[in-house]
Amino acid sequence: WRLQSPGDAMEELERKPKGNLLRKLKRRERAGLYNVLRSIYEDSLFVRELREDILPGIPVLANLRCGAWYSPRFDGDCYFKSTDGHCGKWQFSFTRLNAHVARTAA
């Protein structure tokens, strides 16, 4: 899927459901290397601000599935999948038990 001109973009908008096209454009925007690296950088600033300024003393855990690179220092780690706890996804995972997270929060 490649747009050659603004006219092509308008034609594509008229042909396809707008939601699908907007999702596709957003996915392409996010997929660029610069945007991926920029997002990681901004997330790391957010983690640092939380740790140092907003919630000092509160344990910060790295999610080993996707977030261990956000900070050079964490108080521990955990293993959550992005769908854990979503509506309709209530199955208990023995591979992602994370009992230590409950103890840390207590």
The structure's pTM equals 0.55
Q: Is residue 80 part of a domain?
A: yes
HSE of 60, CA atoms in CB hemisphere, 13 A? 20
Q: Is residue 11 part of a domain?
A: no
Q: What is the pLDDT of residue 7?
A: 57
Q: What is the pLDDT of residue 10?
A: 55
Provide mean pLDDT across the span 71-76: 88
Buried b (16+ CB within 10 A) or exposed e, 23-37: eeeeeeeeeeeeeee
Length of the chain: 106
Cα gap 55→16, rounded to integer Å: 46
pLDDT digits over 76-103, tens only?
A: 998 877 766 667 766 666 667 788 888 8
For residue 71, pLDDT over 60 is answered with: yes
Q: Is residue 62 part of a domain?
A: yes
Total number of domains in the chain: 1
Q: What is the pLDDT of residue 92?
A: 64
Q: State the pLDDT confidence band at 104, using cuts at 50, 70 and 90.
A: confident
Unique residue bearing structure tokens 């080993």: 64
Q: Is residue 85 part of a domain?
A: yes
Q: Is residue 14 part of a domain?
A: no
User: Which residues does 29 contact at the CB level (< 8 Å), separation at least 6?
Assistant: 35
Q: Which domain holds residue 75?
A: 32-105
pLDDT digits over 23-57, tens only?
A: 777 777 767 778 888 888 998 999 899 889 998 98
**Angle, alpha carbons 39-78-26 (nearest 5°):** 25
